[in-house]
Amino acid sequence: MLTIKDLSVKFPTRFGDFTAIEDVDMTIKPGEIHGLVGESGAGKSTVGAAVIGLLQSPGYVANGTLTLGDTDLRNLSPAEAHKVRGGRISMIFQDPQTSLNPLMTIERQLIETIQTHSTVSESEARNRAVDLLEEIGIKNATERIKAYPHQFSGGMRQRVVIALAISTDPELVIADEPTTALDVAVQSQVLDLIQRLAKERQIAFMLITHDIGVIAQVADRVTVMRKGRVMETGVTAQVLGKPQHHYTQQLMDSVPPLDRKIDRFRVPEADNTIASNGAMAENWLLEGSQHARTGLSLTGLSVKFAGPRTSIFRKPPPYVALDDVTLNIKPGSIMGLVGESGSGKSTLAKAITGLVTPSSGTMELGDDVLPYGKSRSRQHPSRQLTQMVFQDPYSSLNSRHRIGDILTEPLWFYGFVKDEQEREKLAASMLSLVGMQPDAISKYPHQFSGGQRQRIAVARALLARPRFLICDEPTSALDVSIQAEILNLLKDLQAKFGLTILFISHNLAVVRQMADDTAVLRSGKIEEVGETNALYTAPQADYTKSLLDLTPVMPTTWQT
In SS3 terms, 227-284 reads as CCEEEEEEEHHHHHHCCCCHHHHHHHHHCCCCCCCCCCCCCCCCCHHHHHCCHHHHHH
Q: Do the Cβ atoms of 5 and 57 come closer than 8 Å? A: no
pLDDT of residue 262: 86
pLDDT of residue 516: 94
Q: Do the Cβ atoms of 223 and 230 come closer than 8 Å? A: yes
pLDDT of residue 219: 93
**DSSP secondary structure, 514-559, as one string:** H-SEEEEEETTEEEEEEEHHHHHHS--SHHHHHHHHHS----GGG-
Q: Does domain 272-308+315-367+420-551 have CATH number 3.40.50.300?
A: yes
Which residues touch 317 (CB under 8 Å, ≥6 apart)? 307
pLDDT tens for residues 472-487? 888 877 778 778 888 8
Query: What Cα–Cα distance (Å) separates residue 477 from each residue in 182, 251, 391, 505?
Result: 11, 16, 7, 11
pLDDT of residue 39: 79
Q: How far apart are CA 451 and CA 457, in angstroms?
A: 10
Which residues touch 492 (CB under 8 Å, ≥6 apart)? none
Helix, strand and coil in the chain, % to nearest 5: 40, 25, 35
CB atoms inside a 10 Å sphere around CB 82: 14
225 phi-psi bin (left φ>0, alpha ψ -120 to 50, beta other): beta
pLDDT of residue 470: 94
- Percentage of the chain beyond pLDDT 70 is 94
Determine the 3-state secondary structure of 66 from DSSP: strand
Q: Which helix (H) or strand (E) holds 502?
A: strand 500-504
Q: Supply the DSSP symbol for 164.
A: H
Sign of CA pseudo-dihedral 388, 391, 393, 394: negative
Q: How far apart are CA 394 and CA 397, in angstroms?
A: 6
Instruction: Please state whether the predicted TM-score (pTM) of the whole model is above 0.85.
Output: no
pLDDT of residue 481: 79
CB half-sphere exposure, 507, CA atoms < 13 A: 28
Amino acid residing at 288: G
Determine the 3-state secondary structure of 137 from DSSP: coil
Q: Give every residue of the chain whose pLDDT is below 70, as ranges.
A: 153-155, 181, 268-276, 289-292, 307-311, 555-560
pLDDT of residue 479: 76
Q: How far apart are CA 325 and CA 328, in angstroms?
A: 10
Q: Which helix (H) or strand (E) holds 207?
A: strand 204-208
The angle formed by the CA atoms of residues 356, 361 and 365, to the nearest 5 degrees, is: 80
Across-strand partners of 18?
11
Q: In what order do the strands lie in the sheet with 204-208?
A: 89-92, 172-176, 204-208, 33-37, 221-226, 229-235
pLDDT of residue 271: 45
Q: Name the E strands within 295-391.
A: 296-305, 319-329, 334-338, 360-365, 368-369, 386-389
Of residues 166, 4, 30, the one with CA closest to residue 86 = 166
Which residues touch 6 (CB under 8 Å, ≥6 apart)? 23, 24, 25, 63, 64, 65
pLDDT of residue 560: 45
pLDDT of residue 272: 47
